[in-house]
Amino acid sequence: MPASIHTAVLPAEVLALLAVEPGMTVVDGTLGGGGHTRLLLDAVGPGGRVIALDRDPAAIERGARELAGRPIRFAQANFCDLPEALDALGIDRVDRVLLDVGLSSDQLADDTRGFSFDSDGPLDLRFDPTEGEPAWRMVNRLRPETLADIIYEFGEERFSRRIARRIADVREREPIRTSRDLARVVAAAVPRQKPPPRIHPATRTFQALRIAVNQELKSLRIALERIPTRLAPGGRLAVISFHSLEDRLVKEAFRNRQVWESLTRSPLEATPEEVARNPRSRSAKLRGARLAAPTVAAD
């Protein structure tokens, strides 16, 4: 397995927002390429520990190899299942949690996973290849109306109906199997625009299918409800999101003042210098909150 090529986004902002101190127990709920995990390990020092979760078995395998000897424990798990993962490790409370809910560069580069538009591999799009339904099966199985709803709701794609009809027409002749096949179908369905859009015309469709296949919004919603129950008093949660649907969930959760004290009035974003170094960071939004102090009832 090759070394990770992923670059962590907003690294300085994450460390400042989480305010990690030596000796703390910190969770990286999305190990990915391990960029943030290394920063957290350095921050907690030899007396602390990091718990790294990821749904992707390849990320866990790579992390276990590259971070061997550090104070870290791994669990292949969805971050919405953090309480169960902590129970399995015999840990009650943690001081900090970080979620980076974007797609990693390592996943994009793996042709067998289908995340890249140029991939001739199967249109899979699952974070955990052993769970759920691959996207190619969903694309060939669902009614056009259902496909259009998914593409519109999760991808915010205004041409969702046209794309779904085109998919239905193409699959009648031959099933859509690869990512490149789907990208071509979508590109042919979307009207040409002047000037050409900055992103590939299939970007929102792929995003929508990936979210649907992995139930990403459901997982995030559950995680935001459950993580506070395992944070120590004064504990902090930071979430990096990459599109408006995720950011909206985080923003709404942090508005609950009975649970959270928000630390970010507006989301933190990458500087122009970081975007120049790492274009992926362009759409990243970071929000953070501290666990609210319990209310003491008056006598």
pLDDT for 106: 65
| Cα–Cα separations (whole angstroms), residue 148 to 132, 139, 158, 164, 166 | 20, 11, 10, 5, 11
Q: 43 CB contacts (<8 Å, ≥6 apart)?
A: 15, 18, 20, 21, 22, 24, 26
Residue ranges covered by each domain of the chain: 11-106+217-291, 111-214
pLDDT at 4 over 80: no
Average pLDDT on 217-243 reads 97
The fold for domain 11-106+217-291 equals Rossmann fold (3.40.50)
Q: How far apart, in whole angstroms, are the C-alpha atoms of residue 35 and residue 38?
A: 6
Give the pLDDT score at 92: 96
Predicted confidence (pLDDT) at residue 221 exceeds the cutoff of 70: yes
List residues bridging with 261 in a β-sheet: 290
> Which pLDDT belongs to residue 298?
46
**Under 8 Å between Cβ of 94 and 51:** yes
Alpha-carbon span 124 to 135, nearest angstrom: 5
Q: What is the mean pLDDT of residues 63-69?
A: 94
Of 182, 185, 184, nearest to 210 (Cα)? 182
Q: What separation in angstroms does the CA of 284 have from each of 8, 30, 89, 280?
A: 11, 15, 31, 8
Please determine, for residue 295, whether its predicted confidence score (pLDDT) is greater than 80.
no
Q: What is the pTM of this model?
A: 0.91
Query: Is CATH 1.20.120.400 the classification given to domain 111-214?
Result: no
The more confident residue out of 149 and 198 is 149
- In this chain, the answer to whether the domains covering 11-106+217-291 and 111-214 adopt an identical fold is no
**Model confidence over 176-200: pLDDT tens digits?**
999 999 999 999 999 887 777 778 8
